[in-house]
Structures are given as structure tokens and as C-alpha cells.
Structure 1
Amino acid sequence: MPSNLAYHGPLGDIFNDHAENSAYNAYIDRPAMLELAGDVAGRRILDAGCGAGFYADALAERGASVLGLEDSAVLVEHARTRLGDRAEVRRHDLNTPLDGLADGSFDGVLCALVLHHLADRGRFLAEVFRVLRPGGWLVLSTTHPTADWQHFADSYYSEEWVDLPLPDGRHSVRLQRMNLEVFLGELLGAGFVLERLTEPRPVEAYRELDAGRYDRLAHRPTLLAVRLRRP
């Protein structure tokens, strides 16, 4: 199994510091994912791969009851500090079964920028399907296949494990490339029904912070997000 799939040790601190205000996390992915989740008031939501707790924080603020799962001990502590008693956070490797979570016990599952780090995506998607109630939704984001293709400058259809440099220039994380056919094929093959697919752009607020970078990010795909339903 590839190593370094989660933000362990100092990578967890780097991610916590970076994700709060980064263009990709704060101004592209989080707004898109929360919009796809919709009204969560009174709903039981699983934040699968909750990281430092930014999405769980927003979901709890909107009235959801949230359980966050995260494999990095460092990020678990960041999430618990950020969330306090407003959400529960447990340490868990998403490559393993979601033991202790009952069938049909969640109204929705949010999985932000995690799928491409998992070594056993099939098992994970099967477990998500199991813990969702019939009619429940999965909101999921990943790196855009076209952006990966341009970054690594090789075959668009590559499914190789690659190292993605982090903004500090000293660390990297492992991810597996997926083209669109593989990405959607795995989701539909797990039994989900696709309700919406979006290629998120930066929100307007980011233009005020960095107009030049806003224009660059608004004109090329970086991330891919979907909303799916369990029939």
C-alpha cells in the first residue's frame, strides 16, 4: 500500500495552517461542497476525512449533527480544538471498514479532497453506501483529471500513484490519478445515482484578495465535485 496517504506528523500542522485561507480549500472547494450539501439543519452528517475540521465546523454552524473521521492524529487534535463540543471527531483510517457505524445511520456524507489519497476506494465507497439511509446523499470532491494531466505532463489516462508537492516546497503527499471515466465509473459502480457534477471556480471574494490569481483559477479547471444519492 502506498505510504504517506494522510497528513501525518508535521504535514498535519502544515495542512491546518494552509487550508484555512488557501485558494483551493477556502475559496474553491469548501464553498462548492457546502453548496452541494444544501440545507443540513437537523441532519446527521458524516465528514469522511474531516482534516482540521473546517467543513465540519461549517456544517455544525448550519445546524447539522456531525461526526468527523480522520486518520491523522495531528489533524484529529486540530479538529477537536476547532470544533469543541459542536461535533464529534474520531481517528479512523478510511481504507478500513466503518466499524461501529450502523447501516443507514446518516442522512449525508461529505468527503472533501480525500478519495484520491485512498488505497481502497472500492471498500470505502461500499461502506459509505452502507451507512447512508436510502435517499441519503454523498457530496465528494477530488482533483480535476485535466489539472493533474497538465501538472504531470503525461497521459491523461494515467492511474499512477504520484507525489504532489505541498506549498512549503519541502513536503509532498501521495495521490492516485483518476481520469473522469474511472472517477464516475467507481461511484456509479458502487450503486450511487449522480445528481450533479460541478467544476468549481473561485468565489468572488477571492478576487478582492488576489485578482491576478483569481483570473487564472477562474479560467482553468482545478477541482471536480459531485453530489450523488443512494437509491
Structure 2
Amino acid sequence: MNKATAYHDELGDFFARNADTSPYNAYTDRPAMLQLAGDVSGARILDVGCAAGHYASELLARGAQVVGVDGSATLVRHARVRVNDEAELHVHDLEKPLHFATDASFDGIVCALVIHHIRNRSQLLAELRRVLRPGGWLLVSTTHPTADWRRFGGSYYSHEWSELPVANGTMSIHYQRMPLETFLGELLAAGFVLEQLIEPRPTSDLEEIDASAYDKLHQAPCFLAVKLRRP
């Protein structure tokens, strides 16, 4: 992510704290993506947009070797603490080629809630295909198009860049809306094969902690997640 979309400074600190217990991150997207990943023991995984290291930490605990990359130095600092330096982490603008990674050097790639922040998605997807070994998997999650349609209104087919207020409106997240056909179309055009698509629901643990959030996230989708393969 570039300067306009990466979570720098106060926004990075807020996200690092919030992702620990957020109904959206901790109980919906993260469990769904880890379930899609399956058995990662011994696998070398690239965590694209690794943020504060929550996914990297979970993957390490499951026996994976992890390389993480994020455009925010603030978040990478949090990630280093979270993974206790057990993962290789890079501060890197995802709008630029992944010069630190060699061809076919990863068994799997996790790209959680990142793709909608990227402007040059075709370049990033080409780079992900390059560094993924043949037969390797790619996991991608994004905001659900219908959730953005409900939130911002206008046309479902909008590709506009939007500002989502967070932290009681004191900060905002900058990202691009896109319909399902754009999201999937770009992944398929990049040469990946779709294996599974899910609309993640929160885990049952959330019901005991925040029943209203649990009910809300079971009524309408918030995220969309896919598992793809490189042929």
C-alpha cells in the first residue's frame, strides 16, 4: 500500500489494538482465512499486507515459515513484537514489485483485507503469481460489495474510492469499492484458478462476547474471501 492507503502512525496504532478483539477481524475474517489455509505445517507463506502480525502469528503457531510485508512502518513495528522476530518482515510499498522475493519461492500467500487498498492491482497480482510456486494457493479477502453498497449507497457497480470513518470518526480508511465481477475478474485474469468462495460469518465465540455484533454479522455479509491456485 502507498502513503495514501497504508495505515500509518495513529491509524496503524488504532488498527493494531482494534484487530485484537474486533468482531470483524478477530472473529470473522481471520478465522475464515485461517480455515481456508488449512494445514500449513512446513509451508513457506507470504503474508501480503501483514499489518500488526495477527495472521503471521497464527500461521507461525501452526508450523509455517512466514514472510510478511506491509507499507506501514507503524504496523510492521507492531508485527515484529507480536511474532517475536520469528518471521521475516519487510516495510514495502505494495504498489511496487516485490523485489525481495524470488520466483516460485512460496507455497501459499495470504492477502487479507488488502486488495481494495491497491491501485495497481494487476501488477501486484502478477507479482503474487510470480513468487508463488505452481500448485500453490492464494487467499484473498475483501470488503463485501453489498456491504459497501449499503454503507455508501449509489450504484452497486461503483468503483469509487471511499473513506470509511473509524475511531469515532477521528480517522478514516481509504479504499476502493468494486463489484464482485471486478474482484473475481481481476484474479482470474491474473492466471489464478478459483477453488473456493465464502462469505465469512463470525465464530460462535463472538455470540457470548457481543451478541448484537454476532447477530448483525449473521444477517448480512461484511467480507468476501476466496481460495485460488496457481496452475
Fold shared per TM-score above 0.5: yes
Does 1:90 pair with 2:90? yes
| 1-structure distance, mates of 2:192, 2:9 | 34
Aligned to 2:39: 39
Task: Show CA shifts across 1:158-209 (max 9, x none).
Answer: 0011111113321002101110000000000000000000000010000001
Deviation of the 1:108 alpha carbon: 0.2
**What is the distance in 1 between the residues matched to 2:167 and 2:151?**
15
Supply the RMSD in Å over aligned alpha carbons.
Answer: 1.2
Query: For residue 124 of structure 1, what is the amino acid of its counterpart?
Result: L
Say whether the 8 Å CA contact 1:56–1:66 is kept in structure 2. Answer: yes
Aligned equivalents of 1:164, 1:12: Cα separation in 2:
15
Alpha carbons 2:2, 2:71 under 8 Å: kept = no
Q: Which residue of 2 aligns with 1:20?
A: 20
Q: Give the number of equivalent residue pairs.
A: 231
User: Which residue does 2:184 correspond to in 1?
Assistant: 184
Q: CA deviation at 1:87?
A: 1.1
Which residue of the partner structure matches residue 214 of structure 1? 214
**2:7 aligned partner:** 7
Q: Is the 8 A contact 2:191 2:230 kept in 1?
A: yes
TM-score, L = length of structure 1: 0.98
Equivalent AA in structure 2 for residue 33 of structure 1:
M
Q: 1:156, 1:27 → 2: CA distance?
A: 27
Indicate conservation of the 8 Å contact 1:3/1:174, yes or no. Answer: no
The equivalent residue for 2:75 is: 75
- Could you say which residue in structure 2 is the equivalent of 1:142? 142
Unaligned segments of structure 1, at least 5 residues? none
1:199 aligns with 2:217: no
The answer to whether structure 1 residue 171 and structure 2 residue 185 are counterparts is no
Q: Percent identity?
A: 60
Alpha-carbon distance between aligned partners in 2 of 1:131 and 1:205, rounded to the nearest angstrom: 36
Cα displacement string for residues 55-101 of structure 1 (whole angstroms, at most 9, x for unaligned residues): 00000000000000011011010000111132111111111000021
Q: Distance in 2 between matches of 1:65 and 1:127?
A: 20
Decide which moves more: 20-29 or 167-176. 167-176
Kept in 2: contact 1:115–1:142 (CA 8 A): yes
Equivalents in 2 of 1:16, 1:85: separation in Å?
A: 17
The code of the aligned residue for 2:48 comes to A
- What is the CA–CA distance in structure 2 between the aligned matches of 1:153 and 1:68, rounded to whole Å? 35
- Number of the residue aligned with 1:64: 64
**Separation of aligned partners in 1, 2:211 and 2:100:** 47
Distance in 2, matches of 1:100 and 1:29, equals 27
* Paired amino acid for 1:16: A
Q: Determine if contact 1:4/1:173 at 8 Å carries over to the other structure.
A: no
Q: TM-score, normalised by structure 2?
A: 0.98
- Counterpart-to-counterpart distance in 1, 2:105 and 2:213: 42
Q: CA deviation at 1:2?
A: 8.2
Aligned position for 1:154:
154
Structure 1 residue 39 displacement after superposition: 0.5
Q: 1:2 to 1:93 in 2, by over 3 A?
A: closer
CA contact (8 A) 1:166 1:172 kept: yes
What corresponds to 2:103 in structure 1? 103
Alignment-derived partner of residue 49 in structure 1: 49
User: Once superposed, which parts of structure 1, at least 4 consecutive aligned residues long, lie more than 4 Å away?
Assistant: none
SS of 1:78's partner is helix
